A and B are shown apart, each in its own frame.
Chain A
Amino acid sequence: MKTIAEILKEIRPEFDFAASHDFIADGMLDSFDVVTLVAALDKQYGISINGTDIVPENFKNLQTIEALLCKSGVRL
């Protein structure tokens, strides 16, 4: 199973996600990347992230994405 970091790397291979605390503010993920990421996470974990949770705050860094997955029923 791919890690969140690996999924992020597939979407934007040019960035070092481990070096950022805010992927959105640092310009590493735009709104379409977030859509691509959500689709990949849904597929990877067999879930459907709630549409109302698809807001920039939940995709700022690895911790917020993990928290979103937990909220969506994933046991990490």
Chain B
Amino acid sequence: MNFTFHRKRISGLLAMVPANERSFLEEMKNFNFPESRSLKLKEVMGYDKHRIVEPGVCVSDLAVFGLEHLFRNGLLQRDEIDALILITQSPDYFMPATSNVIQGRLGLKHDMLCLDISQGCAGFVIGLIQAFLLLEQESVRKVILVNADVLSRKTSAKDRNSYPLVGDAASIAIVERDREDSVIHANLKMDGSRNEVLMIPAGGFRTPSTAETAALEDVGDNNLRARDHLRMDGSAVFNFVQVDVPPLIESLLTQAGVSMDSVDYFLFHQPNRFMLQKLADKMKVPYAKMPSNIVEHFGNSSGVTIPLAIAFNLAGRLKQDNYQVCLAGFGVGLTWSSMLMRLARLNFCELINYP
């Protein structure tokens, strides 16, 4: 499915990571693997440090902290928020929507839309598409797109396939109309027949959480995980990304009439360094144009890796410079989506610690 948007832009971006930093070298002892094998993997996958929330910290805590930072610094006014979209796989509650919880905690106006979207690694791009669609309405002038996940709370610390990678983080993008005649192209695909490739099997209504689903099980490869935990079929995800993402990008650029060379940055979701570099090789994109340094510094925080990559790599330059960027997210659902847009003249672009 293809989309084209006119006169829309991201005008500000804030990324937040928990101050609590863990290191793979310290955590290696939790895994039943020889140290030499873990160290080889560290080098290839980019495992190093990751940011994990303290127990009890929820998505709304990160969002409220970030929005209050913007209010306090005069970067956003409470009353100008016409819509608050929250992209998350780790809501505070089943009900109500966490976007409503955020609205209530911040005392935002009633004349606004709060919307939770259950999306993961493609969530930032899906959220932008939704924000641009809302901005087609005259009554909507400013959309706040919050992308946040605290999936470390649903990941087994004794699962070497998932835990070293996982990171918690949040981002807030201010999305509004552009005075210039900018054009944004996007596309997305979904395949629900592969929904079990990435999932948390228990804890919902299908399989409620019980003592049994919370018990750690030996799931092979010396990993221990409960059914309440995040489960990822790593090989299937890898194959999905290598097979399905390159044609998605090719189709996007064809749709936009833009060559690969004229894209300044390919800011893709970052599952791990190996997967991203294989993608870059396949697409013949230089590594310098496709940053893959988020997992090693912060961990994989689902869709937040995209805004985090922007804030971490480009923050100092986005206030004055103008870049044509290709964003892409791919993961749970399965969902894969990409977007070609200009990032320019941001009012702010920051990375801060929580708290």
Binding site for B on A (CB under 8 A): 11-12, 30-33, 35-36, 38-39, 48, 50-52, 54-56
Beyond A30-B221, A39-B44, A55-B239, whether A11 also contacts B37 by CB under 8 A is yes
A35 touches B239 (CB 8 A): no
Instruction: Name the residue of chain B whose CB is nearest to the CB of A49.
Output: B278
Name the contact of B41 in the complex, choosing from A36, A50, A51, A54 (C-beta under 8 A): A36
List 20 additional A-B contacts (Cβ < 8 Å) besides A36-B40, A39-B43.
Answer: A11-B37, A30-B221, A32-B37, A32-B41, A32-B234, A35-B274, A36-B37, A36-B41, A39-B44, A50-B281, A51-B238, A52-B239, A52-B242, A52-B243, A52-B282, A54-B238, A54-B239, A54-B242, A55-B239, A56-B235
Q: Which residues from 242 to 284 on chain B have a C-beta closer than 8 Å to any C-beta of chain A?
A: 242-243, 274-275, 278-279, 281-282
Q: Which residues from 154 to 197 on chain B have a C-beta closer than 8 Å to any C-beta of chain A?
A: 160-161
Name the contact of B40 in the complex, choosing from A11, A30, A31, A51 (C-beta under 8 A): A11
A31 touches B239 (CB 8 A): no
What secondary structure prevails in chain B residues at the interface with A? helix
Q: How far is the CA of A47 from the CA of B243 in the complex (A)?
A: 19
B277 to chain A, nearest CB (A): 8
Residues of B close to A52: CB separation below 8 A = 239, 242-243, 282
Q: Which 7 A-B pairs have the closest CB atoms?
A: A51-B242, A51-B278, A48-B281, A39-B44, A52-B242, A30-B221, A36-B40
Instruction: Name the residue of chain B whose CB is nearest to the CB of A11.
Output: B40
Q: How far is the CA of A11 from the CA of B41 in the complex (A)?
A: 10
User: Would you call B101 an interface residue if the criterion is a C-beta within 8 Å of the partner chain's C-beta atoms?
Assistant: no
Residues of A close to B221: CB separation below 8 A = 30-32
Q: How far is the CA of A51 from the CA of B278 in the complex (A)?
A: 6
B161 touches A51 (CB 8 A): no
User: Would you call B202 an interface residue if the criterion is a C-beta within 8 Å of the partner chain's C-beta atoms?
Assistant: no
What size tier do the contact residues of chain B reach? 20 to 34
Residues of A close to B117: CB separation below 8 A = none
Instruction: Name the residue of chain B whose CB is nearest to the CB of A13.
Output: B36
A31 touches B235 (CB 8 A): yes
Beyond A39-B44, A56-B235, whether A51 also contacts B279 by CB under 8 A is yes
B35 to chain A, nearest CB (A): 13
A50 touches B282 (CB 8 A): yes
Q: Which residues from 295 to 337 on chain B have a C-beta closer than 8 Å to any C-beta of chain A?
A: none
Q: How far is the CA of A56 from the CA of B161 in the complex (A)?
A: 17
Which among B221, B243, B279 has the highest number of chain A CB atoms within 10 Å? B221
Which among A30, A32, A38, A39 has the highest number of chain B CB atoms within 10 Å? A32
Q: How far is the CA of A50 from the CA of B238 in the complex (A)?
A: 12
Residues of A close to B44: CB separation below 8 A = 35-36, 39
Q: How far is the CA of A35 from the CA of B45 in the complex (A)?
A: 8
Residues of A close to B239: CB separation below 8 A = 52, 54-55
Instruction: Name the residue of chain A whose CB is nearest to the CB of B161.
Output: A32
Q: How far is the CA of A15 from the CA of B243 in the complex (A)?
A: 32
A48 to chain B, nearest CB (A): 4
B278 touches A54 (CB 8 A): yes
